[in-house]
Amino acid sequence: MPFDRQTTLASPTGAAINLYRRKAEGSARAVVQINHGLAEHAARYERFADFLAERGFHVYAHDHRGHGYTKAPDAPPGKFGQPDGAASALGDIGAVHDLIAQEHPGLPVILFGHSLGGVLALNFMLQNSARLHGAAIWNANVSAGLSGRAAQAILAWEKFRLGSDVPSRLLPKLTFEAWGKAVPGHRTLFDWLSRDPVEVEKYIADPLCGWGASVSLWQDIFGLIFQGADDRNFVRARRDLPVLLVGGGKDPATDGGKAVRHLHDRMRRMGFSRLALKIDPEARHECLNDLDRDAVMADFVSWVEGVIEHKRIGTAQVS
């Protein structure tokens, strides 16, 4: 079984959240709350959790509704749920966050999200920045623009013709398949995830990965993307919150990291004062599963340590 503990958490949204926990080795310095991406699950972050635990961090990672082993009456596999699946997914993140606060009062909490998890983490951050000590948004794209509006139109047509509960027929061709074909000399259509063929094969062989998302889930995703694309939604967020933005220079899902850089530049113009940007020039979409993963994880720990040290000094000065 991955992590130290696998439990079920009852969410106010009605979901029975499948939650993994990894206890810090030695004295805990902070908690990292992990949010996974689309068509995958939290157990894939076991290596990252081990790396963090060895360096003094508790780790909490849950399966989003419609993913992994999380169950919800309104969210079968491939769906966030109805009527507002995005709000429910954010509510589940809040439930895990509340549990962390209950079990580890006083410890800094760092919110981490990859890809769709990064889009969710960004939206959660915008609503709850006062509760966080830092946010790490990795490999996330909230720069959909006109192509995103076109995708929403396609999804509206599919919903009208096919219904909202069935897998989208066109979005996988415009996203996963297109990204796979964009990798020069690709061996599989999932090579866009990583340069490491072992990691790609593990993803392909995992029955909880790579499935087709429903029309409604895609609609929820694009709703979240456009919320993150609207500067007005950043108004209430703390400008001094430490935020780490990470991308891959060869990631077709973020236009080679350009979408990550664009978010950084937007936030800088909005006055966010503690931004950090890291674009790994050769990495593809899953930086944590690519060839440079050890260096990437070490960089993350260094950033978290800086966040903790800044908080410690600030607390000492106030007292």
Percent of the chain with pLDDT over 70: 97
3-41, pLDDT tens digit by residue? 899 999 999 999 999 999 999 999 999 999 999 999 999
pLDDT above 70 (res 317):
no
Question: What single-letter DSSP state applies at residue 71?
Answer: B
Average pLDDT over residues 236-258: 98
Gyration radius of the chain's alpha carbons:
19
The CATH code of the domain at 5-143+231-318 is: 3.40.50.1820
Question: 10 Å Cβ neighbour count for 284?
Answer: 28
pLDDT value at position 315?
Answer: 53
C-alpha span between 34 and 297 (Å, rounded): 13
C-alpha span between 174 and 151 (Å, rounded): 9
- Tell me which of 99-108, 128-137, 225-234, 304-313 is least confident: 304-313
**HSE-CB of 149 using CA atoms within 13 angstroms:** 3
Q: Report whether 109 contacts 31 (CB < 8 A).
A: yes
Q: Report whether 282 contacts 256 (CB < 8 A).
A: no
pLDDT value at position 235?
Answer: 97
45-84, pLDDT tens digit by residue? 999 999 999 999 999 999 999 999 999 999 999 999 989 9
Banded model confidence at residue 313, pLDDT cuts 50, 70, 90: low
C-alpha span between 238 and 319 (Å, rounded): 22
How does the average pLDDT of the chain come out, rounded? Answer: 96
Burial 64-77 (b: 16+ CB within 10 A, else e): bbbbbbbbbebbee
Average pLDDT over residues 209-236: 97
Q: Select from 132, 110, 306 the least CA-distant residue to 236.
A: 132
pTM of the model: 0.96
157-209, pLDDT tens digit by residue? 999 999 999 999 999 999 999 999 999 999 999 999 999 999 999 999 999 99
pLDDT value at position 318?
Answer: 43
Number of residues in the chain: 319
Q: Which H or E run includes 35?
A: strand 30-35
